[in-house]
Amino acid sequence: MGDNIIHRIYVLVLFLIGLLVTSYLAFDGYEYYLLSIEHRFDHPDHQILKPSGALGHGLGIIGSLMMIVGVSIYMLRKRIRMFSRLGILKHWLEFHIFLCSLGPILVLYHTAFKFGGIVAVSFWSMMAVVLSGIIGRYIYLQIPRTIEGREMSLNEINQTKDALNQKLVQVYQLDESLLEAIMQAVKRRPDRSGNSMLKRSIAKFIFERNTIKEVKTILRKQKIAGKNFKEVMGLIQTEISLSRKIDRLITMQNLFKYWHVAHLPFAILMLIIMLVHVGVAITFGYRWIF
């Protein structure tokens, strides 16, 4: 439980840092960023906020470094065996997401929301990387994993489900007939005949809410209440989640493979053009605070 609380604090701190930095930059420069290019020269903060200004230039450097570090450390942790025992992969992924989400935001403020030419190609590649990262994160969460972040095999998932069922019987003394009734409720699937994704999503949400209500009714028949009731419901909701993920496991695994094919080229293109941009800037004598 202690590790779980520390992990939640860790994620919360990362989220708050991103939120505070983004909010501060938006609040501090919103008047400048709303101006057209020709009117920005007269703004008192132009020399600071322009792309080559002290703050604007620094945001570009820091944002670029965040993305490079975010990609590098996660790849090293994931691919190099000597780093495989260094922390939990899931936590490294979260730090990777933090750096590669806040980094592009800083780069966006570096451009002062005005960009063109080859830099525009890098920017839109960066946006494609960010958006594909969001999609990848969703797909990643649909594939059952161990606490270390390793993808579980179908056999391991079924073993986890069996362990949950044994715990319900042995620890919480659930009657075999009640457990069977619960498993039958969990195994039912929502109607997928809707002609739109929205209707199917709403139907799925309503179906799962009704399943939870049915399970609660079954549990109350055995007079399980208080702390035990919450713990049993937590186990059953885990069972429901695993059952749903098993249904779409192969689909999600294939999508994840295709996602890598789309995500990596955009990231490489973004980094190449970023390095070209940095090289050109240095060649023309642009310097930051040093």
- pLDDT score at 59: 93
278 or 199, greater pLDDT: 278
Give tens-digit pLDDT for 59-81: 999 999 998 898 888 888 888 87
Asked whether the CA dihedral 112, 114, 117, 118 is positive or negative, the reply is positive
29 or 174, greater pLDDT: 29
pLDDT band at 198, cuts 50/70/90?
low
**8 A C-beta contact, residue 63 and residue 123:** no
**How is residue 282 written in tokens?**
């240095």
Mean pLDDT on 186-215: 69
236 or 5, greater pLDDT: 5
Most confident of 32-41, 112-121, 207-216, 254-263: 32-41
pLDDT band at 249, cuts 50/70/90?
confident
- pLDDT score at 225: 60
Vertex 88, ends 84 and 92: CA angle to 5°?
90
Mean pLDDT on 253-265: 77
SS (H, E, C) 96-116: HHHHHHHHHHHHHHHCCCCCC
Residue burial 75-94, b: 16+ Cβ < 10 Å; e: rest: eebeeeeeeeeeebbeebbb
Tell me the DSSP string of 110-147.
Answer: HTTT---HHHHHHHHHHHHHHHHHHHHHHHHHHS-B-T
Give tens-digit pLDDT for 47-57: 999 988 889 99
Residue 52 phi/psi, 5-degree rounding, is -95, 5
- Cβ contacts of residue 136 below 8 Å, gap of 6+? 256, 259, 263
Most confident of 14-28, 116-130, 151-165, 260-274: 14-28
